[in-house]
Amino acid sequence: MTKTTTDEKAGRLRSAKAVAHRLKRRHADYSSHAHHARAPDAATGEEEAQVDCGWGRLLFAQTFKEPARLIAALREEAPEHRDIAIYVGDPHVVLATAPQELFLDPSHTFRLELPTYRGSRKQPRGFFVRRLSSEVDARAVNRIYASRGMVPVRPDFFWSNRDNRSITYLVAEDENTGEVIGTVTGIDHRRAFDDPEQGSSLWCLAVDPQARHAGIGEALVRRLAEHFKARGASFMDLSVLHDNEQAIGLYEKLHFRRIPAFTVKRKNSINERLYAAPLEEYDVLNPYARLIVDEARRRGVNVEITDAEGGFFRLSQGGRSVHCRESLSELTSGVAMSICDDKAVTRRVVERAGLLVPAQMTAADDDAALSAFLEEHGRVVVKPARGEQGRAVAVGLDGLDAVKQAISDARDVCDRVLIEACFEGEDLRLVVIDFRLVAAAVRRPPHVMGDGRKTIRSLIEAQSRRRSAATGGESTIPIDGETERCLKLSDLALDDVLEKGRDVVVRKAANLHTGGSIHDVTEIVHPRLVEAAITAARAINIPVVGIDFMVRSPTEPDYVFIEANERPGLANHEPQPTAEKFLDLLFPLSGHRAASLALGKL
């Protein structure tokens, strides 16, 4: 009996050793394939390697000999930063050691084999890719990061690292405007920690949601791949969220392939959406509601979504509860809301407060009165007295027939239609919260650039798809009578082929929902415009409002008041802290203010 038991034990031991050996071999094969499990020795690589990227550190987990050391490094994450441990060979072991602090990032790792990579003969149209070269570029990159919900970087960090051979910053620049419209960061692993695998990686690929050119992301990825290939790198890796189908589609098109490599991060407010159970119906919310909900959850303010499709939610903290519809809250009175709802009433209220307003009349079936108004002012704007999102607004009309048609279209939205003198210039939105300017942005109408091959209709449809993708479906360019009228002013029609390089405005109204774009001018807006916007907010007595002016330039004092929006969209004003200021108004003791009070800094 004893002998049999001993034999059985010996047999089990041999079997266990064989299994362990097979698992060890399988793990070695897996690690070799993924290039992430082997810690380099002193002769071939640096131990506990990390690279500061400004938004956080990249920790190369394969250079940490013990999980405890990697966890200790992750615990050194700076406030408001996001550290990432990549190539974690045994994530289950790391997570088991600190399950309350860490989580497995729900991202896939993709790899591009650079020795076999072949570049594209297709050249970018309307933009070019270059290195980041100034602090102006750095600020533009941060603006794009903010627009994509990414962690910003101190602008001086980019500039101070311009000679860092481990980090490569590329930007895409619009050929016509000179604006930075895309960015990508690359890390050279060999120069970062003498990587024996001779690898590299791609991070922070982001395209300006206002950009109207196709292929910006692809051009940035290709340029970075060519850069690392020229340096002799073996591969270029990247990490992408598992449900980012658009990005994954791009990488697969460029022949990236998935590899079994894992990423671990700390549980913090920035990463919360990646590891915490999502709010019920969160995905149904539009971007304007989601922006506020995200900021509330980041601060620890409780969120209850009461009607996702309508954008309604309740925020509560301590004994305080506020019901909101996007940026419209219970703090806005019914009287203030009704003033903003009727454009004619809004005009009278702000005019009495001293603001400059355009000449206006109410549309009636009186051709003589219409003709006289048109003759006096030359060009006019027709809009419904009540309405939103730019529906049935026609701008720059100079003929009686066009005005009458626009009136007919506007009456489908509201029985009462207003006609105003047209002020030539730019459409300026000023967001005022708690009677302070939070953001100022020029809103520009949608336009397309010809390529000598596609019809204007095709160009509009392509641009509309890009605007929709960039704004969560909030911005599209309608193809309707107003679009045709606008094109006719340039002697064009929808089925005409637009010559290469020609830029054409396809709608006069600069509303975001009809394809317009938003460009931040907060730092340069003229003080008189700010003063006028705050005066309008006080006249209406509304705590959160979007004041719309027509201006010759945001840097000049001339303006006319257009309207006040009681529910301004707080998204698309990056890098301005619109959602943060909204939460400061609703819950003054939440967020940074509460921390400052606790530390005696206020």
30-39 residue pLDDT tens: 333 333 333 3
19-28, 153-162, 477-486, 532-541, range with the lowest pLDDT: 19-28
Q: 285 and 293 in contact (C-beta within 8 Å)?
A: yes
CA dist 151 → 82, 143, 271, 322, 550 (Å): 8, 10, 10, 28, 33
- pLDDT band for position 489 (cuts 50, 70, 90): confident
pTM over the 0.85 mark = no
CATH number at residue 186: 3.40.630.30
Q: 203-242: per-residue pLDDT in tens?
A: 999 999 888 888 999 999 999 999 999 999 999 999 999 9
- Among 234, 256, 278, identify where a domain stops: 256
pLDDT, greater one: 352 or 519: 352
**What angle in degrees, to the nearest 10, is found between the helix axes of 343-352 and 334-341?**
110
**Residue 89 belongs to a domain:** no
Q: Pairing mode, if any, of strands 84-86 and 57-60?
A: parallel
Q: 404 and 479 in contact (C-beta within 8 Å)?
A: no
| Residue 108 predicted with pLDDT over 50 | yes
**Residue 229 belongs to a domain:** yes
Buried b / exposed e over 475-495, threshold 16 CB at 10 Å, is bbbbbeebbebbbeeeebeee
**Residue 19 belongs to a domain:** no
Would the CA dihedral through 429, 434, 435, 436 be positive or negative? negative
126-135, 184-193, 448-457, 524-533, range with the lowest pLDDT: 448-457
pLDDT at 13: 43
Tokens 């790792």 correspond to what residue?
Answer: 109
**Structural domain tally of the chain?**
2
CA angle, corner 519, sides to 517 and 522, nearest 5?
150
DSSP bridge pairs for 203 = 185
SS3 116: helix
Give the residue-averaged pLDDT of 275-281: 83
Would the CA dihedral through 285, 288, 294, 300 be positive or negative? negative
Buried b / exposed e over 263-285, threshold 16 CB at 10 Å, is bbbbbbebbeeeeeeebeebeeb
Distance between CA 591 and CA 585 in Å, rounded? 11
Q: 385-443: per-residue pLDDT in tens?
A: 887 767 788 888 888 888 888 888 889 888 888 898 888 888 999 999 999 999 999 98
Average pLDDT in the chain: 87
Q: 506 and 448 in contact (C-beta within 8 Å)?
A: yes
Give the residue-averaged pLDDT of 287-294: 93
Q: 27 and 21 in contact (C-beta within 8 Å)?
A: no
DSSP per position, 340-372: HHSHHHHHHHHHHTT-----EEE--S-HHHHHH
pLDDT, greater one: 149 or 312: 312
pLDDT at 27: 39
- Top mean-pLDDT range of 226-235, 409-418, 451-460, 463-472: 226-235
pLDDT, greater one: 42 or 352: 352
**Residue 397 belongs to a domain:** no
- Give me the sheet containing 199-207, strands edge to edge: 127-131, 167-174, 180-188, 199-207, 235-241, 107-113, 257-259
- pLDDT band for position 565 (cuts 50, 70, 90): very high
Tokens 């698992």 correspond to what residue?
Answer: 23
Q: Of 559, 36, 510, which Cα lies nearest the Cα of 264?
A: 36
**Residue 389 belongs to a domain:** no
| Residue 545 predicted with pLDDT over 50 | yes
pLDDT at 325: 97
* Residue 587 burial (10 A CB sphere; 0-12, 13-18, 19+): buried
**Residue 118 belongs to a domain:** yes
> Which stretches of 17-78 are assigned E, i.e. beta strand?
50-52, 57-60
**Residue 344 belongs to a domain:** no
Q: 205 and 217 in contact (C-beta within 8 Å)?
A: yes
Q: Of 389, 383, 390, 337, which Cα lies nearest the Cα of 358?
A: 383
Distance between CA 534 and CA 548 in Å, rounded? 12
Name the percent of the chain lying above pLDDT 70: 90
SS3 170: strand
**Residue 173 belongs to a domain:** yes
Give the residue-averaged pLDDT of 526-541: 98
- Among 256, 277, 310, identify where a domain stops: 256
Distance between CA 183 and CA 379 in Å, rounded? 41
Distance between CA 448 and CA 453 in Å, rounded? 13
3-state helix, strand, coil in the chain (%, to 5): 35, 25, 40
Domain that holds residue 241: 112-256
| Residue 601 predicted with pLDDT over 70 | no
pLDDT at 596: 54
- Among 241, 256, 271, identify where a domain stops: 256
Contacts of 542 (CB under 8 A, 6+ apart): 332, 333, 336, 337, 339, 340, 564, 566
Give the residue-averaged pLDDT of 511-529: 90
Name the token pair of 492: 């064009």
Q: Of 214, 123, 125, 142, which Cα lies nearest the Cα of 180?
A: 142
**What angle in degrees, to the nearest 10, is found between the helix axes of 481-488 and 400-410?**
160
CA dist 513 → 144, 381, 510, 518 (Å): 20, 18, 9, 11
> Which stretches of 290-435 are assigned E, i.e. beta strand?
302-307, 312-317, 320-325, 328-329, 360-362, 380-384, 394-397, 417-421, 426-433
Q: Pairing mode, if any, of strands 436-444 and 426-433?
A: antiparallel
pLDDT at 239: 96
